[in-house]
Amino acid sequence: MQYEAPANWARSEENSIDGAHPSFVHSSFGSKRDPKVHIVPIEKPDEWTASTTRERTPPDRSQKTGRMRELTAEVRGKTRATTAFCFTGITHRIVIDRSDGLRQRTLSHRTPIDRYNTRTFTTQVRDYDFTPEADIERLEGRRQAVREDVAIVQTVLPKLPPRRPGQELLTEADQLEGAFRQIIQRRIDAGWEIDSQIVDRDADHEVYVIPSPERRLDPKGWVHRPVPTTKPRAGGE
């Protein structure tokens, strides 16, 4: 499925990779009984990616509906959940392995429409219940989760993440968002940020474009100018 949300791309992505939010924002997953976020080490941080893996208390059977309720035992062990993001493509993957063997993977990719609106493409695969009815139910489950996320993320202020670290309080539970912010900051320091002051100033008369790689091979004859970016900062790449 795909959807558009009135929220900035980084705000939207931070919402998705936030390990604390499922128990508070989502009705059919996350644990209402044990919403505490267990702090775990960041895995595989590198220039573009990071991930965390948690053993989570599963949601109660009463949070499930339809076929998922039929498939869910009253008592079950912890669910293993790995959340990984990759900054390129603004992509993340959520891997869910339940104690009863049911497995589910969700892949999401974001495209900024502008500073305040984001389009998301998302795919979910599972290794149980291949009936068409289950497809419909899972799709409605995803739509419900999106409604719950968008209801929150569209209210977050400021609408864009702060420019400097320390302007917003991140806690231990926000560790994956912290890693995501650091990657954004490194790109800003390297001078990759769109200079929105210039874009706004010229908006009535000029359409700037994100230049395609083709322009490097053939730099002449292009009508629209590449979008202006900020300058590298001291210490940037």
Positions that interact with Fe ion (CB under 5 A) = 149
Question: Is the bond leading into 132 cis (omega within 30 degrees of zero)?
Answer: no
* Residue 146 vs 227, nearer CB to Fe ion: 146
Q: Which position has the token pair 């993957």?
A: 93
228 token code pair: 């202006």
In whole angstroms, the minimum distance from the beta carbon of 221 to Fe ion comes to 45
* Residue 20 vs 198, nearer CB to Fe ion: 20
Give the list of residues 6+ apart from residue 58 with CB closer than 8 angstroms, or none. 31, 76, 77, 78, 79, 98, 99
* Residue 144 vs 229, nearer CB to Fe ion: 144
- The whole-angstrom separation of Cα 146 and Cα 231 is 36
Q: Are 199 and 62 in contact (CB under 8 A)?
A: no
* Residue 13 vs 149, nearer CB to Fe ion: 149
* Residue 64 vs 187, nearer CB to Fe ion: 64
In whole angstroms, the minimum distance from the beta carbon of 131 to Fe ion comes to 26
> In the complex, which residue's CB is closest to Fe ion?
149
In whole angstroms, the minimum distance from the beta carbon of 188 to Fe ion comes to 26
Q: Report the 10 Å Cβ neighbour count for 131.
A: 9
* Residue 28 vs 53, nearer CB to Fe ion: 28
In whole angstroms, the minimum distance from the beta carbon of 166 to Fe ion comes to 26
In whole angstroms, the minimum distance from the beta carbon of 21 to Fe ion comes to 6
* Residue 12 vs 57, nearer CB to Fe ion: 12
In whole angstroms, the minimum distance from the beta carbon of 29 to Fe ion comes to 9
Q: Which helix (H) or strand (E) holds 132?
A: helix 132-153
**Burial (Cβ within 10 Å: 0-12, 13-18, ≥19) of residue 234:** exposed
> What value, to the nearest 5°, has the Cα angle with vertex 14 and ends 9 and 18?
155
- The whole-angstrom separation of Cα 163 and Cα 187 is 12
Q: Which residues pair with 85 in a beta bridge?
A: 50, 92
187 token code pair: 């790109």
In whole angstroms, the minimum distance from the beta carbon of 15 to Fe ion comes to 6
